């Protein structure tokens, strides 16, 4: 049986309900399309673990700020569809914005407190509220047993875990590792915005993260010291403009005064006009 594309809430709900009644385990991979090998690795992981897999392609307007790239975000549905079909996905769910947010839509699902105090949150006001709202909505419609997210959006994963646990949606949240180009650049749908110079420069993010990890392995335990090591790699690279370099507890995402346990090195930078993020979990040696 081939892949089906569903475009309405009602059709997806009916489909999920039918499968659930039959006792099948449903998996879900939410995406904004413009699929790359990172997405496909989540799809492959999910397919190994569930009976039926739904992948959504939906460029979620409410998670973009007014000055962000909603309108130019790449839309490649025909290609995405072919990739997902070939991968063995059961349903491609691609609702119209007006189906997800009909006129009068006024609800927000938000996570407050420490998880949204740092990293991307202060730079993208409203972004995570948009993410948690759309994910909560998708979970209600798709009703998966488990959902897969990419480690590249580490803060998103932590926030969605929190939301899922708090609301008791009963969806298991699973995380797939970052997939990289051979030169270390983390795969991102936004990489296609890079011009030649930007594409050459962008792997500096990954080298910066590696430099931070090397500093920790050499015994550096102060976040400032690790940050300095990262900055030494990034500063000379043009056209890279760092937005933040952070070292936080890998689970709570809280700042650390002295590094211990599992930490997350995280970075956001503009490469030309394109904002990229990357991160690296590191176990601090005792």
Query: Where on the chain is the footprint of its own copies (CB under 8 A)?
Result: 9, 13, 104-115, 132, 136-137, 140-141, 162-163, 166-170
Closest separation between CB of residue 115 and its own copies, Å? 6
Q: Which of 36, 39, 71, 145 is catalytic?
A: 39
Phi, psi of 65 (to 5 degrees): -75, 165
**Half-sphere exposure in the Cβ direction for 258 (13 Å, CA):** 3
**Of 204 and 250, which CB lies nearer to its own copies in the complex structure?**
250
**Of 107 and 182, which CB lies nearer to its own copies in the complex structure?**
107
Respond yes or no: is residue 127 known to be catalytic: no
Closest separation between CB of residue 265 and its own copies, Å? 24
CA geometry: angle 227, 268, 257, nearest 5 deg = 35
* Helix ranges (DSSP H) in 168-255: 196-201, 204-217, 223-234
CA geometry: angle 103, 109, 114, nearest 5 deg = 150
Closest separation between CB of residue 125 and its own copies, Å? 15
Q: How far is CA 144 from CA 3, 29, 102, 148, 159, in A?
A: 17, 9, 23, 10, 18
**Of 136 and 146, which CB lies nearer to its own copies in the complex structure?**
136
Closest separation between CB of residue 131 and its own copies, Å? 13
User: 47: Cβ–Cβ under 8 A, 6 or more apart, which residues?
Assistant: 27, 53, 87, 88, 89
**Of 88 and 170, which CB lies nearer to its own copies in the complex structure?**
170
Active site residues: 39
């Amino acid at each position: 049986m081939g892949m089906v594309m569903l475009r309405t809430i009602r059709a997806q709900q009916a489909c999920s309900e039918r499968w659930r009644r039959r006792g099948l385990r449903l998996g879900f991979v939410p995406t904004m399309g413009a699929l790359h090998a990172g997405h496909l690795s989540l799809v492959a992981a999910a397919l190994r673990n569930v009976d039926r897999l739904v992948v959504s392609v939906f460029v979620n307007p409410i998670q973009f700020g007014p000055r962000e790239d909603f309108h130019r975000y790449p839309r490649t549905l025909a290609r995405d569809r072919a990739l997902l079909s070939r991968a063995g996905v059961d349903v491609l769910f691609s609702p119209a914005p007006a189906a997800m947010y009909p006129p009068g839509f006024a609800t927000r699902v938000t996570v407050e407190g420490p998880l949204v105090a740092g990293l991307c949150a202060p730079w993208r006001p409203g972004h995570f509220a948009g993410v948690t709202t759309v994910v909560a909505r998708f979970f209600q419609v798709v009703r998966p047993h488990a959902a897969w997210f990419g480690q590249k959006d580490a803060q998103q994963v932590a926030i969605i875990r929190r939301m899922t646990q708090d609301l008791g949606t009963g969806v298991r949240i699973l995380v797939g590792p970052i997939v990289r180009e051979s030169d270390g650049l983390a795969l991102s749908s936004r990489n296609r915005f890079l011009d030649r110079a930007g594409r050459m420069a962008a792997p500096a993010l990954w080298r910066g993260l590696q430099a931070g990890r090397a500093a920790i392995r050499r015994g550096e335990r102060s976040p400032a010291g690790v940050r300095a090591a990262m900055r030494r790699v990034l500063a000379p690279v043009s056209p890279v403009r760092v937005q933040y370099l952070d070292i936080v507890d890998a689970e709570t995402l809280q700042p650390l005064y002295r590094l211990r346990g599992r930490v997350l090195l995280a970075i956001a930078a503009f490469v030309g006009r394109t904002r990229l993020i990357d991160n690296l979990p590191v176990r601090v040696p005792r």
